[in-house]
Amino acid sequence: MRITDARVIVSSPGRNYVTLVIETEDGLTGVGDATLNGRELSVASYLSDHVCPLLIGRDARRIEDTWHYLYKGAYWRRGPVTMAAIAAVDVALWDIKGKAAGMPVHQLLGGPARDGVLVYGHASGTTLDELSADFQRHLDLGYRAVRVQAAVPGLEANYGISGGAVYEPADAALPQENLWETPLYLDFVPTVMARIREEFGYGVHVLHDVHHRLTPVEAGRLGAALEPYRPFWIEDPTPAEDQAAFRLIRQHTTTPLAVGEVFNSIWDCQQLITERLIDYIRTSVSHTGGITHLRRVFSLAELYGVKSGSHGAGDLSPIAMAAALHVDLTIPNFGIQENMGHTGPVGEVFRTGYTFADGYMHPGDAPGLGVEFDEEAAARFPYEPRYLPVNRRLDGTVHDW
């Protein structure tokens, strides 16, 4: 089953997506997501200039071989650009294999290990009242797990606050600047959790994203302060590249810890997993080398009692969401899946078969991934430069966003 064409389409149906399309001599088509928010064109170039030419004539059935050919063959390893490009090829090949077999990808991965995939949505507010209304809206939709982010008084424009609209952090042609000051945040978050638990009780999972902005000792303090409210997790407490830092956080709190959306390979989380420094590993299909490599990460995690909690922000395309759901359905150590959702014209470009009901998602049973990519529709939404914001402290120092 020879590959006859591989092409990259960058489109912006409300936000930018990089999509790889692979075709075979049998007339099968597979799609993969290669979106890297704010750095989209670098992955598009990596694919079209350096990977697509190598794919022509290769056997589309040899997924594992192709993965190692691209990973080891480049000599230069890892990194978000390389791993997003390899991920797109890998996911497109799984899509093709499913279509060739007439089976959904989850059947190729061993079949369902559960009936549905528990997902969490995002509630946010510029005030606690607004957050509470958004939380209620998620409960009304059927969510059993909800992430809460509220604007810190004095730091209103900050990560995760939608102000009633759909949250899109990559919101400007050049990076916006947000304000940050840790003491204000640390004092405020416990009041957010207290309010949510007081109002909605303990029958729903509540999550919170710290977004890499604390030091280990600050994160330990936050985790301890939140223990009475029993959060499902706190996410990305400290800058994620320092794996050993989690030892200190662990020593100071039993609040579950999640990390991994910026990781690209199993090496980024080896110590976190083998030393049991985290509870949930949040690597995603499209930034961690595709289905093939993500499953390897989750298998390592399974050995050490760490569960999955994959990144599922809106800047991962519906192709990535579908691929994540196929993996989530099949692995033994599934924890939870983020579902930020897609809005606006995204649905005109990507037609999805996955479903949501009562807090659970399902990838559907169509052959392959179950996502159709409409290239003609994509052409109506050309690339637009968009960047994530940059954080500065009140004294002007650049801080983690």
The footprint of ligand GCO (CB under 6 A) covers 37, 169, 209, 211, 261, 311, 313, 315, 338, 340, 388
Angle at 390 between CA 179 and CA 152, to 5 degrees: 30
What is the nearest approach in angstroms of ligand GCO to the Cβ of residue 159? 7
Select which of 138, 205, 208, 211 is catalytic.
211
Pick from 90, 209, 218, 268: which binds Mg ion (CB under 5 A)? 209
- When the beta carbons of 30 and 389 are compared against Mg ion, the nearer one is 389
What is the nearest approach in angstroms of Mg ion to the Cβ of residue 298? 18
- Token pair, residue 130, equals 């607004």
What is the nearest approach in angstroms of Mg ion to the Cβ of residue 160? 8
Give the range of 61-69, 84-92, 206-214, 361-369 binding Mg ion by CB under 5 A: 206-214
69 has catalytic annotation: no
Cα distances (angstroms) measured from residue 235 to each of 118, 222, 238, 262, 335: 17, 12, 9, 12, 14
CB within 8 Å of 137: residues ≥ 6 apart: 123
CB within 8 Å of 29: residues ≥ 6 apart: 21, 22, 23, 95, 96, 99
Instruction: Tell me the site size for Mg ion, rule CB under 5 A.
Output: 1
Backbone angles phi, psi at 40, to 5 degrees: -60, -45
What angle do helix axes 63-73 and 290-303 make, rounded to 10 degrees? Answer: 90
Element housing 307 (H / E): strand 307-308
Give the range of 207-215, 245-253, 351-359, 370-378 binding Mg ion by CB under 5 A: 207-215
Amino acid at 175: P
Q: Does residue 338 belong to the site contacting Mg ion (CB under 5 A)?
A: no
Report what 292 binds from ligand GCO, Mg ion, none; CB cut-off 5-8 Å by kind: none
280 has catalytic annotation: no
Give the range of 105-113, 201-209, 323-331, 354-362 binding Mg ion by CB under 5 A: 201-209
Residues known to be catalytic: 159, 211
- List residues binding Mg ion (CB under 5 A): 209
